[in-house]
Amino acid sequence: MNFEMQDSNYAKIVENIMKNEEFNKLKLIEHHGISRFDHSVRVSYYSYKIAKMMHLDYEQTARGGLLHDFFLSHDNRSVKEKFVSTFIHPAKALETARKNFTLTRKEEDMIRSHMFPINISVPKYLESWIVSGVDKVVAVKEFSLKFRFKFRYAYNIVLLFIIGFIK
């Protein structure tokens, strides 16, 4: 999954974010079973492709999508902290993104509203709706892979049990 290698136009748009030291810290943080960096690139690239197809502002979509989860809290937190983070991390991501980059209003909106309707910030732009939608689809895929791996042994035991019965 190296979207920058496949698509030089995309690579150019996100180049300064990809080179940012703070942003690269996301490579070390687990998120939905992969790194927060990989999750962010995936959301950014698919959102960029959809925005391009719809003749929308694909450059801002690529950047806003890439920064939507730019917060540096680690995954090894308590269940309560993770629950609270579901609601507050867009504000944290916006704060970190503002510290590191100059953002447009649209990019800010993509970050702020990506968890809608879980948080009440309604997306103001079509591009923000795209990032929010793609984030959900990507998250479902990542979670399903994470839990399939986590319960691999349980699957095997159930499978052996069923095979034992069939015999």
Question: Where along the sequence are the contacts to Fe ion (CB under 5 A)?
Answer: 69, 135
- Phi/psi for 30 (5° steps) reads -75, 140
Indicate the residue among 81 and 162 with the shorter CB distance to Fe ion. 81
| Token reading at 136 | 């959900």
Indicate the residue among 109 and 135 with the shorter CB distance to Fe ion. 135
Indicate the residue among 125 and 157 with the shorter CB distance to Fe ion. 125
Distance of CA 94 to the CA centre of its chain: 14
As measured in angstroms, the least distance from the Cβ of 4 to Fe ion is 19
Q: How far apart are the first and last CA of the chain?
A: 42
Indicate the residue among 80 and 167 with the shorter CB distance to Fe ion. 80
* Residues 1-6: contacts with CB under 8 Å, at least 24 apart: 1/38, 1/41, 1/42, 3/41, 3/42, 3/45, 4/41
As measured in angstroms, the least distance from the Cβ of 142 to Fe ion is 9
As measured in angstroms, the least distance from the Cβ of 99 to Fe ion is 18
As measured in angstroms, the least distance from the Cβ of 68 to Fe ion is 6
